[in-house]
Amino acid sequence: MAASLFLSSLKLPSFPSDPIRNPTRTSNKKQKKSRTVSTISASSSSFRNGNPPETDCPVPLDQLPVNEYRALSTSLPFSWAAADLRLYSSRLAVTGASFALLIGLPVSAFGTSSLTDPRCALGAVSAGLLAATLAVLRMYLGWAYVGNRLLSATVEYEETGWYDGQVWVKTPEVLARDRLLGSLSVKPVLSRVKLTLVGLAASLVACALLFINIESPRDLPQDAGGRAIAGAYNDESARSFEPDAFCGEPDLS
């Protein structure tokens, strides 16, 4: 009896079950952890692709407005408008000057037959301004298109490219994100481009008015008298046809 009481007092205490001896519980924990990690990775990848994690978006990735904005902001010449003001102005100036010197000046010199003619310089400057205006107009059209798609509540897209147009209504989360991006990133670029277009248009109009009002230089004949109109009238030709009108006047030749 005493021996049995002694052995019962030496009985080992009870501990929690060993995970090695209970593999079912361990596997359940691993599955839950893997599901959590996969959910987080899937949500982060979907957000990088332009979709919030809770959105089942049927629009192809390259037609999403947020991805179109990213592609536009890294392509030429659209990225110029979103760059620093100094860089934006310098690139436009280089574009206009290159076009004026390489194309505008030779064409103007050929048309006026003289490099000293003021109209030659005005023609070259007008050509450079026209090239810069076309570049800025192309920027405006691209940024306006992306801005409208960001601010719109619907997205028009094509699934296969065979003109099967579809319309997807944005979810509140996507609409809020796109409108925030359009208001903070696209509208300032459009304002800058609009001001640039107004300035270039005014410069083109001024050059056109100067070009029209400047008279081309014409060499007057050296032997003409006081009464002479170059290419139309002089005293010598009039004397040969109407000698009676010059009676009593000295010969100017």
Question: Over the stretch 33-88, which tens digit does the pLDDT of each residue have?
Answer: 444 433 333 333 444 444 453 457 888 888 899 999 999 999 988 999 998 999 99
pLDDT tens digits, 105-158: 888 888 777 777 778 888 889 999 999 999 999 999 999 999 999 999 999 888
Tell me what the mean pLDDT of segment 182-189 comes to. 93
Segment 156-167, tens digit of pLDDT: 888 776 667 788
Residue 194 lies in a domain: yes
- Mean pLDDT of the 176-204 span: 94
In this structure, the number of other CB atoms found within 10 A of the CB of residue 163 comes to: 6
State the pTM of this model: 0.62
At a CB cut-off of 8 Å and minimum separation 6, what does 235 contact?
Answer: 224, 225, 227, 228, 246, 252
Percent of the chain scoring above 70 in pLDDT: 62
The SS3 of residue 1 is coil
Write down the pLDDT at residue 216: 54
**Within a domain: residue 87?**
yes
- Smallest CA-to-CA distance from 93 within 67, 141, 131 is with 131
Q: What angle do CA 201, 203, 207 make, to 5 degrees?
A: 120
63: amino acid identity, one letter: Q
Per-residue CA distances from 20 to 16, 24, 27, 147 (Å):
12, 9, 11, 59
**pLDDT band of 196, cuts 50, 70, 90:** very high
- Which pLDDT score, from 0 to 100, does residue 234 have? 65
Classify 17 as helix, strand or coil: coil
In a domain, 147, yes or no: yes
> Does any domain span residue 201?
yes
Domain tally, the chain: 1
pLDDT digits (tens, 9 = 90+) for 133-145: 999 999 999 999 9
Sign of CA dihedral 184, 185, 189, 190: negative
- Give 241's pLDDT tier (boundaries 50, 70, 90): low
185-205: average pLDDT = 94
pLDDT band at 18 (very low <50, low <70, confident <90, very high): very low
Residue 33 lies in a domain: no
What pLDDT, on the 0 to 100 scale, is given for residue 162? 66
Residues of the chain with pLDDT > 90: what percent? 40
Contact 107, 211 (CB under 8 A): no
Please spell the DSSP secondary structure of 148-193, one letter per residue.
Answer: HHHHSSEEEEESSSSS-EEEEEPPHHHHHHHHHHIIIIIHHHHHHH
Report how far apart, in Å, the C-alpha atoms of 80 and of each of 74, 77, 141 are.
9, 6, 14
Strands 165-169 and 154-158: antiparallel
Q: Is the pLDDT reported for residue 189 higher than 60?
A: yes
- 113 in a structural domain: yes
- Within a domain: residue 251? no
In a domain, 231, yes or no: no
Residue 38 confidence (pLDDT): 39
The pLDDT value given to residue 235: 64
Q: What average pLDDT score do residues 89-93 get?
A: 93
Give the DSSP letter of residue 223: T
User: Is the per-residue pLDDT at 191 higher than 90?
Assistant: yes
Compute the distance between CA of residue 22 and CA of residue 171 in angstroms, rounded to an integer.
46
Range(s) of the domain holding residue 160: 58-213
